[in-house]
Structure 1
């Protein structure tokens, strides 16, 4: 009996945030949510933080459809989208070094940088404007401890009336200061003292309680940040649906914005993550956040689904 062809895939990562990439411009994958669960398993599958399908788009050059390791669909991934740019360029799906990618968080613009071998090494992504209104992130401020509320003037005189900046949240009986930002998906940024060894911080114990806290109706990605100086931040991240990952692009962007709002860093800084470094810039004149970092291919293969 003739063997049924398997699914061709490429394993890629951006600063250690790894996904399985599939070219769906000419094919369809049934039940991608279950495929993401099965193949993301690091013991019985390929192993990844999730699955990303590259599709055609009538709004942009391509569409990125992503699923977390638990099968839930994500809106956007800054590390993942850089690898999409590398995939489409390196595999000849485009010859452009400025590429537009549609996502559930809107169209993003990538500037691809190639190396001596002609393949993409890094990408700079226009991540758009940060969302700071509590209801749009979303954050249910009733779930915070005595939400004080405030108004902040951010860009060109625009006033945000209900931000969540330096608010108190109680998680497992302990108080934390939290700032919330959406980059198309929701993030809660929490600051750790400088004397804490961030690599030994027990994120696996506290991360799930933040993710499922009543203040976050759609669950939350949580970044634990240690401010080194005005231009350097250490970061660990607990992603909803995936647990701890080695990097999170939207999380790094949200963390830079949050730290600027808290007056603790400049509008350009390097985020040091477990998987590598990401350079983030918040252009306050444009109200646009830019993410720059590496994109790597690990291996290609074929798998039965």
Structure 2
């Protein structure tokens, strides 16, 4: 039996499992536990390692068993769990994408609003040649993990004659991205507001993404002249991004909710 915590951030759901229980089988556990119809179900598993000096480190494994650098929403879910279970309203969580500082802004029972320092994003325009589609223009954005952002002006986020899901899959697995990439489709609604959809590496379409929110906002601010304070709206709801300047850390504020605590048999 493996104890787990399930939490979600805007519908982007994660399981939190103590690293000591992984036994080196992180990928296998993630594939097993994330299965929607035959197990608990989640977009990924955050393995929480408690280091001897009292600090924390996260290893994120996606639903398909692949390991990712980090998840903004997953990190926030872990921060919510530590605030709920151990009273840690301020915590820094190490990830393979760099440390992320989390502060609980407000809480009500199992629902938390958390601000996270997301590092300094990097962005540059890029064109990807997609067979059967042609040249797809976008932006390569790194917020601790890789993203490709495409601006659209369609209500359904379709682009280049394809649904965003279909084009997202093609770009995610494109040879230009040997380790695959997350793909966002962004509509600028106003100087201070964008909407986006995400095809997430290792998962597929998801209702939300913390790093996807940051990547979409980075591209909108840097390449479309949007406000340095943005509301970014995904299918699962809005999050708030503040990026004062290109040399400063981006900060992300959004919700996280503890769903349940349980045990599962592998």
- The normalised TM-score by structure 2 is 0.92
Is 1:266 equivalent to 2:227 in the alignment? yes
Aligned equivalent of 1:114: 106
Candidates 162, 179, 188, aligned match of 1:227? 188
Is 1:292 equivalent to 2:226 in the alignment? no
Aligned equivalent of 1:155: none
Aligned equivalent of 1:65: 59
CA separation of 1:238 and 1:250: change in aligned 2, threshold 3 A? same
Q: Is the 8 A contact 2:199 2:206 kept in 1?
A: yes
1:118-157 aligned at under 5 Å gives the runs 121-132=112-123
Unaligned residue ranges in structure 1 (runs of 5+) = 1-5, 133-163
Inter-partner Cα distance in structure 2 for 1:251 and 1:115: 24
Aligned equivalent of 1:105: 97
- How much has 1:234 moved relative to structure 2? 0.8
- How much has 1:216 moved relative to structure 2? 1.4
**Secondary structure of the residue that 2:183 maps to in structure 1?**
strand
Aligned equivalent of 1:191: 151
Q: Is the 8 A contact 1:60 1:100 kept in 2?
A: no
- How much has 1:286 moved relative to structure 2? 5.0
- How much has 1:39 moved relative to structure 2? 1.1
Poorly superposed stretches of 4+, deviation over 4 Å: none
Root mean square deviation, CA, Å: 2.0
CA separation of 1:100 and 1:302: change in aligned 2, threshold 3 A? same
Q: Is the 8 A contact 1:60 1:107 kept in 2?
A: no
**Secondary structure of the residue that 2:262 maps to in structure 1?**
strand
Is 1:11 equivalent to 2:6 in the alignment? yes
**Secondary structure of the residue that 1:255 maps to in structure 2?**
helix
Unaligned residue ranges in structure 2 (runs of 5+) = none
1:32-111 aligned at under 5 Å gives the runs 32-57=26-51, 61-92=55-86, 95-111=87-103
**Secondary structure of the residue that 1:283 maps to in structure 2?**
coil
Inter-partner Cα distance in structure 1 for 2:247 and 2:104: 21
Count matched residues.
Answer: 262
Comparing both structures, which one devotes a greater share of its residues to strand? Answer: 2
- How much has 1:225 moved relative to structure 2? 0.5
CA separation of 1:199 and 1:48: change in aligned 2, threshold 3 A? farther
- How much has 1:58 moved relative to structure 2? 5.6
Inter-partner Cα distance in structure 1 for 2:16 and 2:101: 19
Q: Is the 8 A contact 1:269 1:280 kept in 2?
A: yes
